[in-house]
Each structure stands twice: as C-alpha cells, then as structure tokens.
Amino acid sequence: MSIYSSYMMPAYPISWRTEMLSYLASQFHKPNGFGGRCATLAMNVINRAQYHCVMTLIPPQGHILDIGFGNGKMLKRLLQKGYRNLYGTEISESCLSIVERKLLWATQKGYVHLQRGTAEQLPYDASCMDCIYSINTIYFWNTLHEGLQEIARVLKPQGTLVLACYDKKWMGRLPLAAHGFQLYELEEICTALKRNGFMCVRVAVVKENKAYCIYAKRL
C-alpha cells in the first residue's frame, strides 16, 4: 500500500473535498478576499465568449445596469466602447470596494455608478433603466420569479434584458454545481420571462449545448 493510499482514509478525503468545493462555489456566488479575486479572474477567462455575445446585444446608448459585476471586467469594456451611463450592483462588498478603486476615474466623472445590491433588491427607482444584463448570476437568485419581477420593475417598458447562462446539463456535470447552484433548463428561463412581463426575442447560442445569451424585451 502506498503512503498516499494509506493516508487517504475514506472519511477524510470526502469531507475535505466537500468543504473545498463548497468554498469554491461560495466564491463564485459572493467573491471575497484572495479566493474571490481568483474566482473573478477565472470567470473572466471562462466567460469570455459570453462577454462578447452580451456586448453585441446591449443597445448603443441609454442607462445600462450590470447585475453582479464581479471584478468589473464588463463595465471596463463598455467604458472603452464609449458608454457613459453605466450602473452596477454587486452582492460582494469586497468586489464593490475593488471596482470602486479600479474605476475611480469613471465614477468621479459620473460615467459609472456602483452600489451594493442583488437581483431581488435593486436600489433604483421604477422604470429607470434602458438595459439590464447579468452574466451567470441566475444560479444564485432566490427564485427566477423574484429576480425577474424586480428587474421588470426597474427596466423601462420596451427595455432590454440580456441574461447569459450555461446549459443545465453541461453545468450539472461540474462538481461545484452541487453546492448552492440552482440550475435551469433554457425553456424554464424563457417561461419565467414570459410570466414576469417579458418577451423572449431570441436566444443567441454562444456554444451549442453549453452556453447561451437570452435577449428579452420588457412589455
């Protein structure tokens, strides 16, 4: 018997693995500290194709809100494209603090407005946003209904909603997904959109059977 196999007694590796996966999953949900910085950088790489797709679906002007901006990668890209009425909410105080420093010049000019918040509790008046987008946050909402109901409140009539997400079956194969991720079929999301005052205009396939961007309009 090797040293490794004798050390890895049944109870310990299972517990250690579960705790590690739970910790990693929590960092994707609410990044914090060094682990959070690593998680957001990983998301920048993993979600690169989704970022590009979302960029093509965002209208060229208007008040635009990013729900769950992480380390601010998308906000930075939009600023580089010339957008000047950007808003962002983030559940993580750590991310909020980091992005406030990173985009200080933009906040001082009034180009970006950052606040702490969640999809279910957005700190904005009714019908004030022209476009809202969110990239891979729906797994952490209380329910699709609560999140979409609040987004519908804040979005102007005929406003744009863009949701980037991964396929349920693909995501379900990842060990992390068993630790606090609520996964949805594409049809479930589209049905929830219709029930909460949206019209699902199109589904952009980022990668077949893996990643999508849903483009919807508030009725």
If one counts the domains in the chain, the total is: 1
pLDDT in tens, 112-155: 999 999 999 999 999 999 999 999 999 999 999 999 999 999 99
- How confident is residue 3, by pLDDT bands cut at 50, 70 and 90? very low
Is residue 185 helix, strand or coil? coil
- How confident is residue 96, by pLDDT bands cut at 50, 70 and 90? very high
Q: How far is 184 from 206, CA to CA, in rounded Å?
A: 17
Residue 14: its pLDDT value, please? 63
Q: State the residue range of the domain holding 213.
A: 3-218
Q: Residue 114's domain is classified under what CATH number?
A: 3.40.50.150
The verdict on pTM exceeding 0.85 is yes
Locus of tokens 């920048």: 44
Task: Tell which residue, 49, 137, 180, has the closest CA to residue 148.
Answer: 137
Q: How far is 83 from 86, CA to CA, in rounded Å?
A: 7
pLDDT in tens, 36-74: 899 899 899 999 999 999 999 999 999 999 999 999 999
